[in-house]
Amino acid sequence: MPDVLVLVDHDGEHVYKSTYELLAAARRLGDPAAVVVGTPGTAGRFKESLARHGATSVYAAESGEAGEFLATPTVDALELAVRDASPAAVLVCATTDGREAAGRLAARLDAGLLIDAVDLDSSGVVTQIVFGGSYTVRSEVTHGTPVLALRPGAVEPEEHPVTAVERTLALPSVDPAASARITARRTGLAGDRPALNEATVVVSGGRGVGGAQGFEVVEELADALGGAVGASRAAVDAGYYPHQFQVGQTGKSVSPQLYIALGISGAIQHLAGMQTSKTIVAVNKDPEAPIFGLADCGVVGDLFAVAPQLTEGVAARRAVR
């Protein structure tokens, strides 16, 4: 079986769940080979959990400066791994960093690139949902080593214990004239909440939330459900919530199991980022709000009455379990 490279998404301490999803998808095409880019020692820490999810080899691409420059160390590592393994495909997670690394790698390989896949079959055909959910498109790469970016949450992670061989890749030193240096980093403002594009539940607030303080109601419901908080652009523009949580055409695209829209009218640009969610619940006081046209459960009412009651009920339910 050919190798299938998987770029490991991690924060230095933990492997993100999306990596295990990629490993599960990779097994459909061949033997998953995980590529870890990080400071020395990172791959060693991750090896066991990667092997538990089916990685038959783990490439360690480690250097002191790997985390100090944007994009290029990752692309260098993937390129080296491709040269070494001649894989059937390269899988990355369709996060901002992942898309960019995938694009740059495809340019180096002059290879076909498919981004934002929601599924992948054993013949390498990828499913994408385009135009804000209006088309399902199945595509394949016809030139070069396929570089595929999968949406987090698209594939179920699976345990599949194997023994992993560790291999080393010697990262070239970074050319500071061709790479941007990361001089400071502030982790996501999400705190303990799951990342928007990884969460199984997303609770979003819109202009109807009325202010930054009103977002407490949104956060409390998200926390009761163990979900992430999102916002409409109107809420972001009004300064109620930071931009990185914007859901929609020019924000994040999410497809959680449950999406709850509080005080969001349902403009086409917002729907573009969430209408592939499995279940959609909307609370809006305007019975004519377009969001009701696609909500599986629509509540006509004041979010400040409905959401706290829901939060309370969910918390009570969690407490008895």
Partner 1 sequence: MNIVVLVKQVPDTGAERTLSQTDHTLDREDADLVLDEINERAAEAALILKETTDAHITVVSMGPDSAREAIRKVLAMGADRGIHICDDRLRGADVLTTAKVLAAAVRTVEDVDLVLAGNTTTDGQASAVPAIVAELLGLPQLTHVRQLTVDAGQVSAERETDNGEATLQAPLPALVSITEKINEPRYPSFKGIMAAKKKPVHTPDLDDLFPDADDSGLLVTRTRVVEAVPRPPRAAGIRITDDGSAGRHLVEYLIARKLV
| Under rule CB under 8 A, residue 307 binds partner 1 | yes
β-strand pairing of 113-120 with 147-150: parallel
Per CB under 8 A, contacts with partner 1 among 98-157 are 99-104, 106-108, 110-116, 125, 129-144, 149
Residue 268 beta carbon to ligand FAD: minimum distance, rounded to whole angstroms = 7
Q: Which is nearer to partner 1, 56 or 277 (CB)?
A: 277
Q: Report if residue 244 touches partner 1, rule: CB under 8 A.
A: yes
Shortest distance, CB of residue 218 to partner 1, whole angstroms?
14
Q: Minimal CA–CA distance to 246: which of 261, 230, 259?
A: 230
Minimum CB separation of residue 49 from partner 1 in Å reads: 20
Under the binding rule (CB under 6 A), the answer on residue 270 touching ligand FAD is: yes
Calpha distance 144→233 (Å, rounded): 39
Torsion of CA 193, 197, 203, 204, to 10 degrees: 120
CB of 49 within 8 A of CB of 160?
A: no
Q: Does 114 bind ligand FAD (CB under 6 A)?
A: no
CB 262 within 8 A of CB 303: yes
Is 263 known as a binding-site position? Answer: yes
Residue 51 CB, shortest distance to partner 1, in Å, is 25
How far are the Cα atoms of 3, 106, 152, 275, 280 from residue 92, in angstroms, in the given order?
Answer: 14, 12, 10, 23, 28
CA–CA gap between residue 128 and residue 268 (Å, rounded): 19
Q: Which is nearer to partner 1, 71 or 88 (CB)?
A: 71
Q: CB-based burial of residue 304 (10 Å sphere; 0-12 exposed, 13-18 middle, 19+ buried)?
A: middle
The entry of partner 1, ligand FAD, none near residue 86 (CB within 5 to 8 angstroms by kind) is none
Which member of 98, 248, 256, 298 binds ligand FAD (CB under 6 A)?
Answer: 248
Q: How far apart are CA 81 and CA 157, in angstroms?
A: 23
Residues touching partner 1, count (CB under 8 A): 100
Is 203 annotated as belonging to a binding site? Answer: no
- Does residue 63 bind ligand FAD (CB under 6 A)? no
Check residue 39 for interaction with partner 1 (CB under 8 A): no
CB of 222 to partner 1, least distance (A): 13
